[in-house]
Amino acid sequence: MALVTFTSDFGHADHYVAAVKAGLLSKNSSLNIVDISHSIKPFDIAHMAFVVGAVFKDFPKGTVHVLGSNVGQADRGSYLAAKIEDHFFVAPNNGILSILGSKSPEIVTVLDTLAESTFPQRHEIIDAVIHLADNKELSQLGTETTDYVQLMLRQPRATRKEIAGHVIHVDHYGNLVTNIKKQDFDILSKSKNYKIVFGRDTANKVHISYHEVDPGEVVFLFNSLNLLEIAINQGNAAMLLGLNYDSPIAIQFEE
């Protein structure tokens, strides 16, 4: 049974999600369609890239991932099909394919069959998704290209004295996920004292779990993505700490 994931900024109040699924299932009723999220912030490419990038490699290789976000800003060909780390993607040409994974797309194809439409996911991309779900060649969908929109995410800066990063995601609970990697912290923190600088406050301990601190207390840990996370046990860190997306976070090391 072919596996297709679907992620969008369509929300749940309208018919858009159901319309895309209906189009897919009318072509192949045996498809297994998994929703990753339809609560992506409208037009927020970075939010979608984080959510999809955090989970797509957990699906079997060969899975087809449909991304419906920020279509209004798509450029140089409205929709693309691509292969990234043995997964297939059908996505708008808005830069998201360049920031999904740790590796660049192996192949990117401009879909040939696109017509002018205010809702291209409902009609024009359906055949491309079905084609890939049937294990057919990506190259048959259109013209291979290297001329597609590419973005670059801001990276943390690491020196012997400091890792300087920022918040890249605020989850449903108000937990603040940063781009500071555990690998960098482990290398630089050996036999050194350190302090975490967040807003006007500091802390000097990285925890293992949320429950190492009392309810209402701030906790710092490396999450399942091996990224530094700032949370409040049974509370909303973003709201209570006054931090949000793009807030600067640093770990400073004593020589």
Residue whose token pair is 């900024």:
9
Nearest alpha carbon to residue 240 among 217, 220, 209 = 217
pLDDT of residue 167: 98
pLDDT score recorded for residue 55 = 97
- Tell me which DSSP letter residue 246 carries: T
CA nearest neighbour of 183 among 207, 208, 163: 163
List of the chain residues with pLDDT < 50: none
The DSSP string of 116-155 is --S-GGGTTTHHHHHHHHTT--GGGGEEE-S-S----PPP
Structural domains present in the chain? 3-144 (3.40.50.10790), 157-253 (2.40.30.90)
Residue 38 CA to residue 94 CA, distance in Å, equals 18
Q: What is the pLDDT of residues 75-122, one digit of tens each?
A: 555 889 999 999 999 999 999 999 998 888 999 999 876 555 556 566
Q: What does DSSP say about strands 64-68 and 87-92: parallel, antiparallel, or unpaired?
A: parallel
**How would you classify the pairing of strands 3-8 and 218-222?**
unpaired
**Of 54, 49, 94, 41, which Cα lies nearest the Cα of 226?**
54
Per-residue pLDDT of 166-193, as tens digits, reads 999 999 999 999 999 999 999 999 878 9
- DSSP secondary structure letter of residue 17: H
- The answer to pTM > 0.95 is no
